[in-house]
Structure 1
Amino acid sequence: MIILKDIVLRRGAKVLLDGASCVINPGEKVGLVGRNGAGKSSLFRLLDGQLHEDRGDFQVPAQWRMAQVAQDMPETGESATRFVVEGDTRLTAAQQAVAEAEASGDGERMAHAYMLQQDAGAHDASARAQSLILGLGFRLDELERPVNSFSGGWRMRLQLARALMCPSDLLLLDEPTNHLDLDALVWLEAWLKRYEGTLLVISHDREFLDAVTTVTLHIERAQLTRYGGNYSRFEEMRAEQMAQQQAAFTRQQEKMAHLQRFIDRFKAKATKAKQAQSRVKALERMEKIAPVLADAEFSFEFAEPANLPNPMLALREVDFGYPGATEALPPVTIVRRVTRSVQAGQRIGILGANGQGKSTVVKTIARALAPLAGVITEGKGLNIGYFAQQELDVLRPDEHPLQHMIRLAKDCAAQGRLSGQDTREQDLRNFLGGFNFTGDQVMQAVGSMSGGEKARLVLCMLVWQRPNLLLLDEPTNHLDLATREALSVALNEFEGTVMLVSHDRALLRAVCDEFWLVSRGGIEPFDGDLDDYQRYLLDVARQAREMQRQENREASGSSADAGGVPSGTPDNAPRGAEQRRLEAQRRQQMADKLRPMKKELAQVEQRMAALGTEKESLEAALSGTLTPDDIAQAGRRLKAVSDELEACEMRWLELSEAIEQAAQG
């Protein structure tokens, strides 16, 4: 187990932990939470040995293997698959042992090295690595692409895959979801649930923490407090604890005031001096309960839009994509022939697997890209507020927040987009203050700010423009939990239209009341909620893994037919016809195992379809004109159908997960 006892940890002059203690048991999945700057990442640096405690005792079992995501940007020209395979430190060491044994010519040493390599999983290392890569959102045709050909965010996904590839007893993940889309996030949750080691994760995604963690470790005022349960349970217990502490503090203050009144009244009277003195001692001995000093919550709101055109915009036969890089190259169309309208007051969540074109659609509506075909008709007075994924990159690092606001005001005035906003310097300072930019922070260079502070500045600039259509593409990537909550509240009170792309399911659930699915080159309404969408994503991921396994089997069979033996494989390894026979036997065993589950799954799906049809018919009948008796009968039947449909859906999910796990095994 991990033991921290009376730990003091400093970074410069700042004390991050002061007499902090906690115990983390083997196999626990721990969410590390606290305000930005509280010391979460520094605690990770203590665990991995980059920092040392200033005082106290700190123990991690010496035999534990540790894995974490490297923060450097890899520049290697190796293939994505090779790069991730090399994250398996046990396999790398075994391969090195094989190379040294072969160089020595010692037969016994070579045999021992080959066995170590087989035990380390050399036979399926590439398949395991590719499963991780595909799960994190890469395409099949990207598995052999050079690492340095990917953008920064995709390289960080490869670093995450490399960390997951490494055999470990302790896994440290610091904001692992920042570069992930929702499909990759759902896959990562499922992977971490199966992880058998001890997990410590820092995240500002509450649904991710709820899904993965079973213990919450809270850093506050240089102390560590352990709570049993996920993040939602932590919030409940902490609220109860704070309420109890406040009640105890209030009672103690009343008791102390009563004692002090007695002392003040009778300390000068000889007949009461003894009693007064005893109360003085009681007051001195009393262990003082601290008042509840809750951190000030951050909040903001969107001003009422100057007008609300309806529809906001209309799309007619629109193609979305990118123009050719040169005149000789044709444009790249990603989403085709979209005809839809966006109404005033709509709350639209835009869903879709990675690479399907969600950001491209939003960029085109935001006028950052031109449509490749078709017509986008904007309502009169449309005022778009656009938060792009790379929005933080357009901030000027050498300028301070006030300079950004002054330049924004000038740009809006030049474009005739001022809607009654105050543009005096003091008014802009006051507006920044509403986003927690006060005092010297107003004049602090943006380049020295944290990612969360930069995101808050972008939000401030967005709100100031008084938009009536908000286009938000992953707005929460750098926001802490408090700011995410504030954004959720502000969006719910916003009177205009919201179109949101996000992997933060808590935000999507709280804000959106309908969803568009970008898939297979088109856009369609998604008839379901986020739980339905997660099942859809898991199904897509499973199909991709099955396709990859099939390709690996075919490649393995071709290699065996050619008589090829992988380098470093012992001579007695199965190959050729024997290997194909064993593979066929395994496939038959798997088919026999899955057949009854697949049969029941088909029956459940058939029953769900029948119940869904009956439910729609009953709902249509209830909306018409029926006699009271017929209404009562239809209502009872609708309740029975709904209950059975819910039970079928749960069974469908259980069977689907069982089939997937069996296939993976």
Structure 2
Amino acid sequence: MPRKKGNKKQRGDDEEAGIDADVAVEQNDEVTKANADAGKAKKREKKKDKKGKKGKSAKQNEDSDDDNKIETRLDKLALQDEDDEEDEDYVPASSNKGKGGGFALLGDMEDEMPEEEENDEENEKNVEEKTDSTPEKNDEKKDEPEKGAKGEKKKKSRKEERRERQRAQLNQQLEEMTLTSNFSVSQRETTAKGAMLENATDIKVSNFSISARGKELFVNANLTIAAGRRYGLVGPNGMGKTTLLCHIAQRALAIPPNIDVLLCEQDVKADDTPAFEAVLNSDKKRLALIEEEKKLLAESEAGNNTNSERLKQVYEEMIAIGADSAESRARRILSGLQFTQEMQMRATKHFSGGWRMRVSLARALFLEPTLLLLDEPTNHLDLNAVIWLDNYLQNWKKTLLVVSHDQQFLDDVCTDIIHLDNQKLDYYRGNFNAFKKMLKQKQKEQLKEYEKQEKRLRELKSRGRSSKAAEKETKTSQMQKNKGKKSKGDPVGEEDAPVELLKKPREYQVKFKFPNPPPLNPPILGLHNVQFGYHDQPLLFKNLDFGIDLNSRIAIVGPNGVGKSTFLKLISGELSPLQGSHTKNHRLRIGVFNQHSADQLTMHESPVEYLQRNFNLDYQSCRKLLGQFGLAGHAHTIKIADLSGGQKARVALADMSSRQPDVVILDEPTNNLDIESIDALGDAINDYSGGVIIVSHDARLILETSCQLWIVEDQDIQEIDGDFDDYKREILEALGELEEKEAEKKNQKKK
């Protein structure tokens, strides 16, 4: 370091001064006196020289301190712990400090670095100017070995190279981070290296953290995905499930390079490409092999027989990817998603956004990636398509990670459940039903552990320990306990996450309630000999007869496009029949909730202001009602326009409940609700004494509310003779899926 070199020079100068003094003693008296005067003058000059050298050494120390500051700034980017402890294992990906998300601090640091280097150069120039002003010092510098000067130069270049490498590493991570700057991510470097193994088939990311706009979504969480398993990711709305899928898909986390990941989240491009071709052409490898096959065959016909070996390899690759069955697979998937033969050949630009999402889902299923990510795949599907998708994914051979609020879908499809809770990921073997039982038991155990921890903290504080010391001692004992629990099969080299104090388990509870109506005399609500169709369109209903009372629980089912939503509008009186009559008790109040109910709210008002204006409720009553419907407290007083889709849905449900309806009509009510809210909706319907009509793709809601199934078909509506399982079997038989399943079972037995 520069400081050591400066000290060495000073020691050399002191030795030279000592030699001069010894020589002066050996001279005779007269010469001694003259030389002594000269020696004193020299010593005064050398003292000045030493002061100059000390100044230079101080400057070098300042340069060294500047370098240390730069390195410290770089290290700070790696810190994610709340108590700002240094951890050498973190990769300095980004930080959530400063403006513009996690990348602002890095940008500020890089802007400052050139200024610090310029300051270094200015300091060196100042030292050189001071050195030039003392001739004796220059002479001494010339006498120094040139090798030492070269070594000093070499050291400076290494520092610069090190800083450049660190900046390059940070810049590379910024380029790889394709997510928006609203997110910041950190993960262990050891994990990142391990995930880069070329032959890795599983995903294991330890101790990663993700924050969005200053809100921590994941803190020291662990992601483990085993090949060939089908995972369901569950947790309350707004906790980061979709964010995690996006980070996996964009490889912001350390995903092995040989695992291809596909997230189905956007609809296909609207152009003249038929839906069938949009699915078929998504397999670029197959298209490339077909083109190469045509080229090789043309060359063979022209007399070139040298490419026969390559042609054979092309055929083998096409067999391996199942190119011969590609068209039949594409048609099977589209048919299952309720595309008719005519719709399969229709250009994508003629489909609505919901149908283009189905094309996108069909492409994802057709491509069969190593890891398929699905975010609420049932939201854009009707019940028939959900039944098919449920059956299709049960036979999915590769890895699947799905976010869904449909409990029946999760029960049938998933082999494992990942629960997002308290910014961590917890893993459970089995389907959703098994998960619910295990979670209940785990929450009881967590509450006991939390109570033990609080008891220990109180005991330590009563013995005179400060709060900080008591917490530290509790963490230490917890760390030792965790090490004792660590199994032999745990990976070597992976470091444990920082130990944290247990938090009190809080059960996420939502409770919906619809006020019970007073009794009404029949007829309550009905349609008689109704005929209806839209302008210039075929009739949807002909000679339709239907009626309900306050005890009715009815679920309307049927394929897409047969008129289920239209039927609800007819029965509610929103549409008038072309022929026939619509009967309704004059005292009857109808509550309607559909996908567009939230759009009818007053967007410039807050939820509290909206309820106060419409129902003359006081402030606290409004907040209590919104809280019962699962709307978070901070959302009570912000504009409805700024709420998410799920939050608006809760306000709309609270609005419908406040109108005290006698009959409730629900059209796809589960689309923006999480699992806990759907359970609460089912409980509210069961406790409600009024009439209920539902159109929903959520099988669990239909089953738990004991609804009678009525099917819309052949321009009429009729009650189904049988239960939901009978209807499900009928759908799969019509699609030929049961025959396909039987054939697969026979093939497996033969093998």
Query: TM-score under structure 1 normalisation?
Result: 0.71
8 Å Cα contact 1:101/1:113 also seen in 2: no
8 Å Cα contact 1:349/1:512 also seen in 2: no
Q: Which residue of 1 aligns with 2:347?
A: 146
8 Å Cα contact 1:308/1:496 also seen in 2: no
The whole-number CA distance in structure 2 between the counterparts of 1:141 and 1:284 is 65
The whole-number CA distance in structure 2 between the counterparts of 1:280 and 1:22 is 28
Structure-to-structure mapping, 1:268-287, within 5 angstroms? 286-287=477-478
8 Å Cα contact 1:98/1:117 also seen in 2: no
Question: Secondary structure at 1:532's aligned position in 2?
Answer: helix
Alpha-carbon deviations, 1:432-468, whole Å to 9, x = none?
A: 4543556652343334322211211221121111111
Alpha-carbon deviations, 1:365-421, whole Å to 9, x = none?
A: 1222222322121123111111123334445655543565467x3xxxxxxxxxxx5
Range 178-187 or range 446-455, more displaced: 446-455
CA pair 18-289 structure 1, distance change in 2 beyond 3 A: closer
CA pair 93-18 structure 1, distance change in 2 beyond 3 A: farther
CA pair 662-340 structure 1, distance change in 2 beyond 3 A: farther
Higher RCO by CA contacts (8 Å cutoff, separation 6 or greater): 1
Q: Does 1:516 align with 2:710?
A: yes
CA pair 243-434 structure 1, distance change in 2 beyond 3 A: closer
Question: Secondary structure at 1:171's aligned position in 2?
Answer: strand
CA pair 281-373 structure 1, distance change in 2 beyond 3 A: closer
- Offset, 1:30: 0.6
- Offset, 1:295: 3.9
CA pair 260-130 structure 1, distance change in 2 beyond 3 A: same
Percent identity reads: 32
- Offset, 1:253: 4.7
The whole-number CA distance in structure 2 between the counterparts of 1:9 and 1:429 is 31
Structure-to-structure mapping, 1:582-601, within 5 angstroms? none
Q: Does 1:91 align with 2:91?
A: no
Question: Secondary structure at 2:394's aligned position in 1?
Answer: helix
Structure 2 residue corresponding to 1:300, chosen from 491, 497, 512: 512
Amino acid in structure 2 at the alignment position of 1:45: C
Q: Does 1:177 align with 2:383?
A: no
The whole-number CA distance in structure 1 between the counterparts of 2:694 and 2:223 is 40
8 Å Cα contact 2:635/2:643 also seen in 1: no
Alpha-carbon deviations, 1:543-574, whole Å to 9, x = none?
A: xx8xxxxxxxxxxxxxxxxxxxxxxxxxxxxx
The whole-number CA distance in structure 1 between the counterparts of 2:444 and 2:572 is 46
CA pair 251-466 structure 1, distance change in 2 beyond 3 A: same
Q: Which residue of 1 aligns with 2:407?
A: 206
The whole-number CA distance in structure 1 between the counterparts of 2:411 and 2:744 is 23
CA pair 150-377 structure 1, distance change in 2 beyond 3 A: same
8 Å Cα contact 1:312/1:469 also seen in 2: no
Q: Does 1:452 align with 2:646?
A: yes
- Offset, 1:178: 0.4
- Offset, 1:310: 2.9
Alpha-carbon deviations, 1:216-267, whole Å to 9, x = none?
A: 1112222111111111211111110111122333355556667777x58xx9
Amino acid in structure 2 at the alignment position of 1:504: D
8 Å Cα contact 2:549/2:691 also seen in 1: yes
Q: Does 1:322 align with 2:533?
A: yes
Question: Secondary structure at 2:231's aligned position in 1?
Answer: strand
Q: Does 1:59 align with 2:270?
A: no
8 Å Cα contact 2:263/2:373 also seen in 1: yes
Structure-to-structure mapping, 1:629-648, within 5 angstroms? none
Alpha-carbon deviations, 1:54-110, whole Å to 9, x = none?
A: xxxx333x2223233141452122111111112223323324545776898877266
The whole-number CA distance in structure 1 between the counterparts of 2:272 and 2:286 is 21
8 Å Cα contact 1:311/1:344 also seen in 2: no
CA pair 90-194 structure 1, distance change in 2 beyond 3 A: farther
Aligned pair count? Answer: 517
Q: Which residue of 2 aligns with 1:190?
A: 391
The whole-number CA distance in structure 1 between the counterparts of 2:592 and 2:718 is 23
- Offset, 1:3: 0.8
CA pair 441-230 structure 1, distance change in 2 beyond 3 A: same
Amino acid in structure 1 at the alignment position of 2:238: G
Q: Which residue of 2 aligns with 1:290?
A: 502
CA pair 110-252 structure 1, distance change in 2 beyond 3 A: closer
Q: Does 1:36 align with 2:120?
A: no
- When Rg is computed on C-alpha atoms for both structures, the one with the higher figure is 2
Consecutive unaligned residues of structure 2, counting only runs of 5 or more, are: 1-201, 479-499
CA pair 91-153 structure 1, distance change in 2 beyond 3 A: same
CA pair 154-456 structure 1, distance change in 2 beyond 3 A: same
Structure 2 residue corresponding to 1:233, chosen from 416, 419, 434: 434
Range 465-474 or range 366-375, more displaced: 366-375
Q: Which residue of 2 aligns with 1:552?
A: none
Q: Does 1:357 align with 2:558?
A: no
- Offset, 1:426: 7.0
Q: Which residue of 1 aligns with 2:658?
A: 464
Structure-to-structure mapping, 1:86-485, within 5 angstroms? 86-98=281-293, 108=307, 113=314, 116-117=317-318, 120-251=321-452, 253=454, 263=463, 286-287=477-478, 290-319=502-531, 321-324=532-535, 329=536, 332-395=538-601, 399-402=605-608, 404-405=610-611, 409=614, 421-422=615-616, 428=622, 431-437=625-631, 441-485=635-679
Structure 2 residue corresponding to 1:658, chosen from 724, 738, 742: 742
CA pair 454-95 structure 1, distance change in 2 beyond 3 A: farther
8 Å Cα contact 2:219/2:424 also seen in 1: yes
The whole-number CA distance in structure 2 between the counterparts of 1:429 and 1:248 is 33
The whole-number CA distance in structure 2 between the counterparts of 1:281 and 1:32 is 34
CA pair 249-159 structure 1, distance change in 2 beyond 3 A: same
Question: Secondary structure at 2:574's aligned position in 1?
Answer: coil
Range 495-504 or range 353-362, more displaced: 353-362
8 Å Cα contact 1:89/1:167 also seen in 2: no
8 Å Cα contact 1:135/1:187 also seen in 2: yes
CA pair 314-366 structure 1, distance change in 2 beyond 3 A: closer
- Offset, 1:27: 0.1
- Offset, 1:496: 0.6
CA pair 65-377 structure 1, distance change in 2 beyond 3 A: same
- Offset, 1:174: 0.8
Question: Secondary structure at 1:498's aligned position in 2?
Answer: strand
The whole-number CA distance in structure 2 between the counterparts of 1:22 and 1:282 is 29
CA pair 188-423 structure 1, distance change in 2 beyond 3 A: same
CA pair 143-661 structure 1, distance change in 2 beyond 3 A: farther
- Offset, 1:322: 3.0
The whole-number CA distance in structure 2 between the counterparts of 1:128 and 1:70 is 21
Q: Which residue of 1 aligns with 2:487?
A: none
The whole-number CA distance in structure 2 between the counterparts of 1:504 and 1:122 is 35
Alpha-carbon deviations, 1:504-535, whole Å to 9, x = none?
A: 11111111342212223222211222112111
Range 182-191 or range 526-535, more displaced: 526-535
Q: Does 1:529 align with 2:706?
A: no
